[in-house]
Amino acid sequence: MDIKSVPPALIAPMPVGVDSALKSPSVEGADAGASFADSLTAAVQDANAKSQAADHAVQALMVGEGSLHQTMIAMQDASVAMEMVLAVRNKALEAYQEIMRMPV
């Protein structure tokens, strides 16, 4: 790796305690202004779209047009998305129940 290809912002020294202006890769694509409800709605819509894509892949496989490999990937992708939505729903329900058990 050539040192000239490294951005200067990564090489420049920074004082301790000052946040860097660089974003982490996991947060870079996230919308910081989105509410939890918007994020949850988007996740449910994504899970629904993946489920519909898996259904179409299965139908294509049954008529001989699709591949088994792509169908299994689509089905697993839909399954993982649905498990994520259910896990968030279960955590929200647990939090609600815990709040309701609190004495007033």
Name the residue among 45, 37, 55 with its Cα closest to residue 82.
45
* Summary count for the chain: helices (H), strands (E): 4, 0
Q: What is the pLDDT of residues 29-83, one digit of tens each?
A: 555 667 888 988 999 999 999 999 999 999 999 999 989 999 999 999 999 999 9
Residue-level pLDDT at 35 = 87
Tally of CB atoms within 10 A around 50: 19
- Please tell me which residue, 92 or 24, carries the higher pLDDT value: 92
Q: What is the pLDDT of residues 2-29, one digit of tens each?
A: 656 667 766 666 666 555 544 444 444 5
- Please tell me which residue, 99 or 16, carries the higher pLDDT value: 99
Q: What is the DSSP letter of 53?
A: H
Tally of CB atoms within 10 A around 39: 13
CA distance to 10, 43, 73, per residue, from 96 (Å): 44, 20, 35
pTM value is 0.61
